[in-house]
Amino acid sequence: MQIRNRVCGRRLRLRSTLPLLGATVGLTGLAWAADIETALAVEEKANSESVQSQKRINRIDDQTDSMAMEYRAVIDHIQSLRVYNSQLEKVVGTQLEELASLEEQIGNVTEIGREVMPLMMRMVDTLDQFVEADVPMLLEERRKRVNDLRELLVRADVENSEKYRRIMEAYQIENDYGRTIEVYQDTIDVDGEERTLDFLRIGRVALMYQTPDGSELGTWDQEQGRWVTLPDDYRDSIRKGIRIARKQAAPDMIRVPVSAPKESN
């Protein structure tokens, strides 16, 4: 009887314990599920943060690549500038040398200019004296040329090179007179009388004239320094010379009055 009561009591206690165990297991399952959800949430958050971090890393990596490219570009530009500056320094050095040379040349030109002006003045004076002492051919024209040169020398707006060129041009004209033949008309003073005559110039060897009607002939006597009358036997020579000068006849020998050479002492 006692044994049966004990068995019954154990069964009773077992039955009362089973609901408690079930409750405990249920509570434990709920807690475990909550932990899983929490862990999943944490993992999801971590994954999200990881994605964001990766995006930031990618963005920083892109920025780093861009900055690296810019850096390389700047380095290349700096290198180019260095090469350019080096070349520019050489150019500047060359220009400075040229500038120094030009300054020296300018100084020399100034000095030469001070020497050239007196020389040109003497050349004009010499030309003037030569014209006055020469055969009086085209005398007014030649005197005017000398006077124009004198006026040119005092002009500040004309370079010395141009002044010198004009002087040399005048000398060349005078030189050409000695090897050309020419006919022209001019008015001169003959024995105190103004007369318009036809002149024939044979270089500087002879300067002859005839009146427009050909009735009078004459020549310049350099030894006497005056005009003298020529005999009629020069008439054909003067006419022929005039035709040759006007290119109306072929060059030929003509007779001209020439002073006999003097013996030197």
Summarize pLDDT for 79-89 with one digit per residue, the tens: 877 887 778 77
Over range 201-212, report the average pLDDT: 92
Domain residue extents for the chain: 1-38, 79-177, 181-257
Q: Which residues contact 244 (CB under 8 A, 6 or more apart)?
A: 181, 250, 251, 252, 254
Residues facing 186 on adjacent strands? 197
Distance CA 20, CA 18 (A): 5
Q: Which residues contact 113 (CB under 8 A, 6 or more apart)?
A: 160
Is 7 a residue whose pLDDT tops 50?
no
**Residue of higher predicted confidence among 253 and 31:** 253
Summarize pLDDT for 138-196 with one digit per residue, the tens: 999 999 999 999 999 999 899 888 999 999 999 999 999 989 999 999 988 877 788 89
Q: What is the chain's mean pLDDT, rounded?
A: 81
Which pLDDT band holds residue 238 (cuts at 50, 70, 90)? very high
CB 208 within 8 A of CB 200: yes
What are the φ and ψ backbone dihedral angles of 109, each rounded to 5 degrees?
A: -65, -40
Distance, CA of 248 to chain centre: 52
Q: In the structure encoding, which two tokens stand for residue 205, read together?
A: 């060897």
